[in-house]
Chains A and B, each alone.
Chain A
Amino acid sequence: MTTKFCRRQFAKYSGLSLLGASMSGWFSQLAALADETGKRPKRSCILLWMSGGPSQMETVDPKEGQENGGPTKAIDTSVPGIRISENLPKVATVMGDLVPIRSMTTKEGDHTRATYYLRTGYLPVGPLQYPSMGSFLGKSLRKEECDLPSYVSINPFRAFSPGAFAPGFLGPAWSPLVVGAQTTNNEVSFEVRNLKVPEQLTETQVDARLRMLGSLEHSFLANRPGSPGASHLQSYEQAVRMMKSQAVGAFSLEEEDSMLRDAYGRNAFGQGCLLARRLVEEGVAFVEVSLNGLDAAGGAGWDTHADNFASVKSLCEILDPAWSTLITDLKQRGLLENTLVIWAGEFGRTPKINENSGRDHWPGSWSTVLGGGGIRGGQSLGKTSDDGMEILDSPVTVPNFMATICAALGLDHTSTNQSNIGRPIPLSDHGSAPLSAILS
């Protein structure tokens, strides 16, 4: 972060009451939240999202020697008794901080519905627009002093289910700040564009502009309720707050040690994980990094209907260093105990190998991994049969998975938000319960 730039920006906006903050309902929500906080440090959450549905057998639930296991071999990890795929040798060394859940089960084998289910904790029904976990966890975990939005989404591929990346009934205050990777001369960077005020403008001029804009907004929106107006105001408010803040320095990865950047992997996902750590350090409540494929573009790289084994191996060459370095880096900085790291996609892959050496969609028995804050690492949960077709122990539903995430983050999963149809909706669905065995 260039401190010089930052101070100058700050001076430009000092003494502003941004855009008439008192007028919008969203702002009073923020204010109310601020009152609840400040008692104990709030945790943060990093979601590593595997777009397309990663194969459990080529990652954390290998079936070496079984027909359905294919050519994938299993390796020992730092925790005796837990073996994972040879594709993840570095992740194997940090198993003491992780818990593979090998008994995820749903009925949703369609990308759209499954993506929505995993990311909101609810199935799409009727007019209810459930918020993405980034939105509702971001809302519950927001640190008021943080100048960045509570939910940052790095390289998302949203086409399967846009609503699964949106704040739904929580409203625009909880939308993600979406950041895409840029690659110039093989160097990956994440820039939030247009943060800098044009050179020719003076401080007082910018100040005057925002004051006039505030008064115009007030007279226009006062009696014109609706989401487009509220979100306009909200986004301008957040944008101005970011413009004047030093926190945006978190996006400048060049400040990091070159060896550490290498360790994460010099690609969009690896550098995205490094950015996630920097954002958590800066106080951002929820950061997600999507691994969509071998390059920085959007997609569903894990959707390995054909050539599963080579494809997953290549993806793991990106995933393995990034994920393991994230865990060790967070730990070294003392952040891991307050940062939950989730590894998940929308579903798993068929145990049976198809005629194209691929695996198809499989929601019946598959895997996710939790680690870090709130989780008692170094154990696994659930067990599948040798052929991978059945769950032998501790089936985990999506609502229970979500309740566990809430509990690990220090949140009451039964606490509610008001929905768009006037019904209070709990963080995780009615009847769900955290998996206490893996909570610390």
Chain B
Amino acid sequence: MRLSFIRLVRTILLLTFPFLLTPNVLEAQEQPDASHAGQDDVVKLSPAELAAKIDLLFEKSWSDSEIIPADRATDAEYLRRIYLDLAGRIPAVSEARAFLSDSNPDKRVALVSQLLDSPSSVRNMTTVWRNSLIPQASSQPEFRGLIPGFEAWLWKHISENTPYDVIVREIITTPVGEANTTGGVLTAASSPEAFYVVRELKPENLATGTSRAFLGVRLDCAQCHDHPFDRWKQHQFWSMAAFYSGFAQPVEGSAPVMAMNVAEKKFAREIQIPSTGQIVPAIFLSGQTPAWSDQESTREVLARWVTSPDNPWFAKMAANRVWGQFMGQAMVQPMDDFSDANPPSHPEVLDLLAQQFVLHNFDLQYLVRAITATGVYQRSSLQTHDSQSDPSMFARATLRGLSPEQFFDSLAEAIGFYQPFRSGNPFVLDDDSPRSRFLELYRSEAESPLQRETTILQALAMMNGEFVASATSIENSQTLRAVVEFPLMSDEERLDTLFLATLTRHPTEAERTQFTSYIQEGGASGDRGAAFADIYWVLLNSSEFLLNH
């Protein structure tokens, strides 16, 4: 918690005079293309047009189900949510003041454009996509070393907004084992190779990984036997695995597989089902037999089919995933389980999103702009009617647990904790840093942020742990001291600053009265500084701070 003197001065200035930050948020707006309006469905829609169509579909769905939706979110509520969803952290006090005092009626859309280009957003999207593509890297310590190389590769694509189909093609066709022939440890070369390593280069793991991550199809159970209620049969599973049959299998019982010395048979097209001995050819999940040629390797053929605009699942799966990422709840939930038994909550909306995603050349930022522009995304989390309780109806913003990364980066923002990655190499792993320790403590196996729960150990760390204790102590926290001791602020302004730093809003009238009188009485210990520290601690421990809402 050491701030340099210059940083301290800057903090004070920005806390006090937010206009010193000139937001250039008004330029990058995308205007609706009027020439397309009113035509049939296959026309390209601007994000605003698509958002409007989606809102119409939801209004109909709500009125059909006799649902009265929640109010529109306030600016403060929206601001906090969009920062957490896009930038992966809450806004700084200066950013909050700038937005809340901005009178531009289109400031919400403008903020999305501004954030999409920010390093925070690129970093956050990289983390989110990495967690969904190689989840094993954060849950299994032996794979943690793979994160830097994978993130370096992903970071570049996210920052350049590479079309999604190009990214996925690169994953499915990436050379494996060629860049690295040194034993033991993988180099941190920028590559999606980790996708293969965490699946131990096994054709069956790669088949389930590919179909889950990119098609939303869960084949896992069909590996061993046919399931009575599932459309996927065992031979279909192995036909998918056959696309990865080129990987030489390591000797049973040897050390964990590393992508080294792999001699891939790039044109292998069949595989043996271990339990039956039957040999099955590579066939697409759609049932079509691939058109083979000598020019295209087996994985290239698979990649072309997976990422094709005609693939029945590819675009829908991505649209569903991005929707779920911003809403907390996907239309097909769990988001990687498309099946007849698990239909989408709003099929028309999902179809429309997927269709426009394809028409916009798989532009992920387009999806983000459209989804965040909807009135659905911009609902308040405050329940005003019983009919809003079903999260799959999207009539109210849900309460969501923060991801470990969102949690720590927001805490760091709120207490002015300087995180070295901001200026230095973002790919350095430091397992002893406060960030690493908190990420470990906040790791959750919940399938959706709606199910993420606070544990007793997390509560204890926030209430009594050294990190937060130090951040809320007037002796150790320069941020708190800056707020409490800066001469030009009244106590009300100081309180306001603490609220903005933590909850991204001004205190209500009742809160202002309650907390100001607490401060003026010197709090519980007769000390004005300690009284501020108490309030800071309370704000940091509140569910309003620790949840996305």
A209 CB contact (under 8 Å) in B221, B461, B538 = B538
Q: What is the CB-to-nearest-CB distance from A112 to chain B, in angstroms, rounded to a whole number?
A: 8
B373-385 vs A, CB cutoff 8 Å, 1 = contact: the mask equals 0000000011110
- Annotate B520-544 by CB proximity to A: 1 below 8 A, 0 otherwise: 0001110000100011011101111
Given A202-B524, A217-B543, A227-B451, decide whether A235 and B456 contact each other with a Cβ distance below 8 A: yes
Q: Assuming A202-B525, A207-B524, A208-B534, is B457 touching A178 (CB within 8 A)?
A: yes
A109 to B525, CA, bound (A): 61
Within 8 A of B (CB), among A169-197: 172, 175, 177-178, 192-197
Does A225 contact B383, Cβ atoms closer than 8 Å?
yes
Give the distance to chain A from B330, nearest Cβ to Cβ, in Å: 14
Q: Does B400 sit within 8 A of A, measured CB to CB?
A: yes
Q: Which residues of B contact A221 (CB under 8 A)?
A: 543
Q: Which A-chain residue is minimally distant from B544 (CB atoms)?
A: A220
- A239 x B547 contact (CB < 8 A): no
CA distance A227 to B525 in the complex (A): 35
Is the CB of A204 closer than 8 A to any CB of chain B?
yes
B179: min CB distance to chain A, Å: 29
Taking CB atoms, residues of chain B closer than 8 Å to A159 are 139-140
Chain A CB within 8 A of B460 CB: yes
**Chain B 120-155 interface residues, beta-carbon cutoff 8 Å to A:** 139-140
CB contact between A238 and one of B221, B456, B461, B510 (< 8 Å): that residue: B456
Q: Is the Cβ of B463 less than 8 Å from the Cβ of A232?
A: no
Q: How does the 8 Å CB contact mask read for A206-249 relative to B, with 1 for contact and 0 for none?
A: 01110011011101110111111101111110111011000000
Is the CB of A313 closer than 8 A to any CB of chain B?
no
B420-462 with Cβ < 8 A to chain A: 445-446, 449-461
Q: Is the CB of A239 within 8 A of B383?
A: no
B546 lies within 8 A of A232 (CB): yes
| B340 interface contact, C-beta 8 A | no
Contact between B538 and A220 (Cβ–Cβ < 8 Å)?
Answer: no
Q: How far is the CA of A110 from the CA of B225 in the complex (A)?
A: 11
The 0/1 profile, CB within 8 Å of A marked 1, for residues 473-495 of chain B is 10000000000000000000000
**Does any Cβ of B come within 8 Å of A356's Cβ?**
yes
State how many residues of chain B have any CB contact under 8 Å with chain A: 60
Q: Given A216-B538, A220-B542, A223-B382, are A208 and B524 also a contact pair (CB < 8 Å)?
A: yes
Contact with B along A233-274 (1 / 0, CB 8 A): 111101110110000000000000000000000000000000
Residue of B at shortest CB range from A239? B459
Chain B residues, CB < 8 A from A215: 514
Instruction: Please tell me if A149 contacts chain B, counting CB pairs below 8 Å.
Output: yes
What residue of chain B has the Cβ atom nearest to residue A198's Cβ? Answer: B469
The answer for the CA separation of A205 and B469 in the assembled complex, in Å, is 13
Determine if A162 is an interface residue (Cβ-Cβ < 8 Å): yes
In the assembly, what is the distance between CA of A213 and CA of B502, in Å? 14
Pairwise interchain contact A235-B384, C-beta atoms closer than 8 A: no
Interface presence of A306 (CB below 8 A): yes
A209 to chain B, nearest CB (A): 5
Chain B CB within 8 A of A22 CB:
no
Task: Tell me whether A200 is interfacial, beta carbon within 8 Å.
Answer: yes
Q: With an 8 A cutoff between CB atoms, is B38 at the interface?
A: no
Q: Could you say which of B400, B511, B541 contacts A228, with CB atoms under 8 Å apart?
A: B400
User: Which of A194, A207, A228 meets B461, CB within 8 Å?
Assistant: A194
A158 at the interface (CB under 8 A from B): yes
Which one of A212, A217, A224, A236 contacts B459 once the chains associate, using CB atoms below 8 Å?
A236
Tell me whether B523 and A208 are in contact (CB under 8 A).
yes
A293 to chain B, nearest CB (A): 14
Interface centre among A202, A226, A239, A307 (most CB of B within 10 A): A226
Q: Is B104 an interface residue (CB 8 A)?
A: no
Query: B401 at the A/B interface (Cβ < 8 Å)?
Result: yes
Q: What is the bound-complex CA distance between A175 and B445, given in angstroms?
A: 13
CB distance from A202 to the nearest CB of B (A): 5
Report if B184 contacts A (CB, 8 A).
Answer: no
Known A159-B139, A228-B454: A235·B459 in contact at CB below 8 Å: yes
Which residue of the partner chain A has the closest CB to B476?
Answer: A200
Q: Contact between B524 and A229 (Cβ–Cβ < 8 Å)?
A: no
Task: Give 1 or 0 for each of B349-385: 1 = CB within 8 Å of chain A CB.
Answer: 0000000000000000000000000000000011110
Q: Once bound together, how far apart are the Cα atoms of A229 and B547, in whole Å?
A: 8
- Distance A196 CA – B539 CA, assembled complex (angstroms): 20
- B253 / chain A contacts, CB cutoff of 8 Å: 305-307, 356
Q: Check A212–B543 contact: CB distance below 8 A.
A: no
The reply to whether A225 and B543 contact each other, CB–CB distance below 8 Å, is: no
Cα distance, A175 to B454, chains bound together (Å): 10
Chain A residues with CB below 8 A from B458, complex form: 235
Chain B neighbourhood of A226, CB < 8 A: 391, 398-399, 450
Question: Which chain B residue lies CB-closest to A215?
Answer: B514
Q: Within the assembled complex, what's the spacing in Å between the Cα atoms of A225 and B385? A: 12
Query: Do residues A243 and B464 form an inter-chain contact, with CB atoms below 8 A?
Result: yes
Assess the B524–A224 pair: CB atoms within 8 A: no
B390 to chain A, nearest CB (A): 11
C-alpha spacing A195/B530, complex, angstroms: 21
29 pairs from A and B in contact (CB 8 Å cutoff): A149-B456, A159-B140, A162-B445, A172-B454, A175-B453, A175-B455, A178-B457, A194-B465, A197-B464, A198-B473, A202-B524, A209-B538, A213-B542, A216-B511, A216-B544, A217-B543, A228-B401, A228-B449, A228-B543, A228-B547, A229-B543, A229-B547, A231-B453, A232-B459, A234-B454, A235-B453, A243-B460, A306-B252, A356-B253
Given contacts A207-B524, A209-B538, 6 further A-B contacts (CB under 8 A): A175-B456, A194-B463, A205-B530, A208-B523, A216-B511, A225-B399
